[in-house]
Chains A and B, each alone.
Chain A
Amino acid sequence: DIQMTQSPSSLSASVGDRVTITCRASQSISSYLNWYQQKPGKAPKLLIYAASSLQSGVPSRFSGSGSGTDFTLTISSLQPEDFATYCCQQSYSTPYTFGQGTNLEIK
C-alpha cells in the first residue's frame, strides 16, 4: 500500500492567514492526489482533485500543487468556515489510501 503522511498534524491560525498543509506519498503518485475537508460529525467534502484541480463550487482561496511524492494544499486567506480537518488521498493505485489528517484550529 502507498503510505500518505501529512504535516503538520495540527495547526493553529487566525482568520485572514495564509496556510499551507503538506502531504507526502511513500512512492511517486504523479498527480493522482485529492484533498478533502471534514468538519466534526460531517462527511468529507472534496476540495481538490488531480493535485491542483478545484472542485466545482469550492472557493478559489483553496489551491493545490505538487507532483510525484510531495504535495501542498494552500488556503490563501482563512475564513471562519475553513476551520476543519483536511485530508489527502492518493488515487494512483488501490487501495486508495488517505493521510492521517491535519486539524486546523482557530488561534
Chain B
Amino acid sequence: QVQLQESGPGLVKPSETLSLTCTVSGGSVTSSSYYWSWIRQPPGKGLEYIGYIYYSGSTSYSPSLKSRVTVSVDTSKNQFSLKLTSVTAADTAVYYCARVREEVGPSNRYYYYMDVWGKGTTVTVSS
C-alpha cells in the first residue's frame, strides 16, 4: 500500500524559499502511469493545485505560481520535492503531496486523479 509523507520546516521567513519533501513508501516514484503532485490549502480555504512531476522529470505548474515553483524528483531516494521562492504570508497553508494516477479514457485522452495523499504539513510564513 503506497503511502506518502511530507517533511520540511513549519516556519519560513518572508522572501525566503519554502522547501518540502515527499517520501514515497510501499511503491516507486518510477512507476509508469503515475505522476507526483503538490497541492496546498490556505487556512479556511479550498484546495489549490501547485504542480506535478513525472519520474522522467517532465513537469506541469500552475500558471499563478510558475515563476516561483520548482518540483523535482530523486529516484534514488524515492522522493519528490517542492521549492517555492520569495514567499509571503499568502503562501501560508497546509501543503499536501499526492499521487496522480493516469488512466486511459475515450479518444486516447487520459483521466488524471489524485488517489493517494500525504497527511499534509503546515507551513507558516512569518518573521
Residues of A within 8 A of B (CB): 1, 30-32, 34, 36, 42-46, 49-50, 55, 87, 89, 91, 94-101
Report which of A36, A43, A97, A99 forms a contact with B49, defined as CB distance below 8 A: A97
Minimum C-beta distance from B102 to chain A (A) = 10
Cβ–Cβ < 8 Å partners of B118 in chain A: 43
Cβ–Cβ < 8 Å partners of A94 in chain B: 49, 60, 62
Q: Name B112's closest neighbour in chain A (CB-CB).
A: A91
Minimum C-beta distance from B72 to chain A (A) = 18
Contact A49 B49 (CB under 8 A): no
Q: Secondary structure of the B side of the interface?
A: strand
Q: How far is the CA of A50 from the CA of B49 in the complex (A)?
A: 18
- Number of B residues, CB within 8 Å of A: 24
Contact B60 A98 (CB under 8 A): no
Considering only residues 62-99 of chain B, those with a C-beta below 8 Å from chain A are 62-64, 96, 98
Given A50-B111, A55-B115, A96-B112: A87 and B96 interface contact (C-beta under 8 Å): no
Q: Secondary structure of the A side of the interface?
A: loop
Q: How far is the CA of A81 from the CA of B120 in the complex (A)?
A: 21
16 contacts between A and B (CB under 8 A): A1-B63, A1-B64, A30-B106, A31-B105, A32-B105, A34-B114, A43-B98, A44-B117, A45-B117, A46-B114, A46-B115, A50-B111, A89-B114, A94-B62, A98-B49, A100-B46
Contact A50 B105 (CB under 8 A): yes
Minimum C-beta distance from A8 to chain B (A) = 15
Q: Beyond the given A32-B111, A44-B47, A96-B49, could you list 12 further A-B residue pairs with CB under 8 A, ordered by the A residue number? A: A30-B106, A32-B105, A32-B109, A34-B114, A44-B96, A55-B115, A89-B49, A91-B112, A95-B49, A95-B60, A95-B64, A97-B49
Given A43-B96, A46-B114, A55-B115: A95 and B62 interface contact (C-beta under 8 Å): yes
Report which of A1, A43, A89 forms a contact with B117, defined as CB distance below 8 A: A43
Contact A87 B117 (CB under 8 A): no
